[in-house]
Amino acid sequence: MKILISGYYGFGNVGDEAVLQAVLNELTSRVPDAEVCVLSAAPQLTAELNRVRAIPRYALFRIIREIRQADIFVSGGGTLFQDATSRRSFLYYLGLVWLAKRLGRRVVILAQGFGPLRGRLNRFLARLVLDRVDLITLRDDESRQELKRLGVCRPEIVVTADPTLLDTLPPLAEGRKILALEGVPAGVPLVGLALRGLKGQSELENRLAQEIAAELNGSPRRQPVFLLFQCPEDMGMTRKVVDRLTVPYHVIYRLCRPEEMLAMFPHFDLVVAMRLHAVIFATLAKVNCLALSYDPKVSSFARLVEQPCVEVSAGEELTDRLAELLLRPLDRRLELELHCRRLCDQARRSFDLMLEKGYHLDRGGAKR
């Protein structure tokens, strides 16, 4: 089977790279002889890190050749069909799906979030194209409701879960090693923070930074450790917080692979996260997490696993919740373990359905 995968890959975003890694691991474990190619902004790096073939994401003629040779075109991971980031990005991903269907390929939308999609023309184009794909699996029910409102009804639409929930926690020693290399002391209660900027909202950024810093300064026993899920993009918001701190802190400047980032999470007593995959990593590590929602995808996942969540603009509610968790971090390991097991089963369902669209497998893994 030949599979071509499209997504936000090769941009150095730990969350999206974790999605790709999880997708590739699951595919190779199920179909060892699968020939997989990834569209990437940094194809050489993607190929080296994942031991997979990769081509430039804008090399149109190579992309057409790869689509013609593929059994399945997979638009996978993240929230690709939205125009909040940019209309150009939305049209790029939708255009690839249209091209794959135009060339007669089977197309699977794999474990994505959907929206927000506000432009009238964008919504029309999305309905026109997505109504012709072969399968859509989504990571939350809010995305399914949005697709229904859009009028997409022909393909099979199934709510599953984010593929990164299939990741396995690395040994504790691996995370401790990375923290030690970055100068983070052992035996000290640590708070992990994964922050990001809010485009065009500098006033809200400043207020949020002040609120977070004030609560961290009021809890000097717990040392903050800042995690950069996308560098240098996350440095702006991180800098706004650390400039206001009066307590010792650490910033992990190391460019981490997904498994390296995940390895640090079990060493935190609490995680404060704006990044979706930081909330997912905290859940995998069975660590309590305060999710700061700047986008519905963050609050959607937090609700799924019953992690505390407040809007970034919540003000007093945010500071009260953060102060409470810093004072008395909850031990929710058993509860989070049950959530992880449930969501892992749902995440595997995406691949069950996708492979059914390519070819049937017998119990030994052979083609039928």
Write out pLDDT tens, residues 202-224. 999 999 999 999 999 999 899 99
Burial of 322 (0-12, 13-18, 19+ CB in 10 A): buried
Q: What is the mean pLDDT of residues 177-182?
A: 96
Q: In residues, how long is the chain?
A: 368
Q: Which tens digits make up the pLDDT trace of 147-168?
A: 999 999 899 999 999 999 999 9
What pLDDT is attached to residue 85?
Answer: 74
**Positive/negative CA dihedral, 130, 135, 139, 142:** positive
Whether the predicted pLDDT of 327 surpasses 90: no
Neighbouring C-beta atoms of residue 191, cutoff 10 Å? 23
Q: Using DSSP, state whether 81 is helix, strand or coil.
A: strand
Q: For residue range 94-143, list pLDDT tens digits in order.
A: 999 999 999 999 999 999 999 888 889 999 999 999 999 999 999 999 99
Cα 197–chain centre separation: 16
| Adjacency order of strands within the sheet including 250-252 | 250-252, 223-227, 190-194, 270-273, 289-293, 309-311
Domain 172-337 part of CATH 3.30.420.40: no
Contact partners, residue 183, CB within 8 Å, separation at least 6: 250
Averaged pLDDT of the chain:
93
Edge-to-edge strand list for the sheet holding 156-159: 53-56, 35-40, 2-6, 72-76, 106-112, 135-138, 156-159
The answer to whether the beta carbons of residues 271 and 194 sit under 8 Å apart is yes
* Phi then psi dihedrals of residue 289, to 5 deg: -140, 135
Neighbours of 329 (CB within 10 A): 18
Instruction: Specify the pTM.
Output: 0.93
Give Cα 146 to chain centroid, integer Å: 19
Between the alpha carbon of residue 73 and those of residues 1, 18, 108, 113, 115, the distances in Å are 11, 20, 6, 18, 21
Could you list the beta-strand ranges (E) of 245-334. Answer: 250-252, 270-273, 289-293, 309-311
Of the candidates 152, 119, 114, which has an alpha carbon nearest to the alpha carbon of residue 133?
Answer: 152
Scanning the structure block, which residue is given the tokens 């970034």? 312
How far CA 347 is from CA of 110, 166, 167, 352, 354, in Å, comes to: 10, 7, 11, 9, 12
Tell me how far apart the alpha carbons of residues 120 and 171 are, in angstroms, rounded to a whole number. 49
Band of residue 359 on the pLDDT scale cut at 50, 70, 90: low
Is the predicted pLDDT of residue 364 greater than 70, yes or no? no
Q: How far is CA 8 from the centre of its chain?
A: 10
Of 1.10.10.10, 3.40.50.2000, 3.40.309.10, 3.40.50.150, the CATH number of 2-159 is 3.40.50.2000
> Alpha-carbon distance 236 to 117, whole Å?
27
Q: Where are the domains of the chain?
A: 2-159, 172-337
Region 47-76 average pLDDT: 96
2-159 against 172-337: fold identical: yes
Position 229 scores a pLDDT of 97
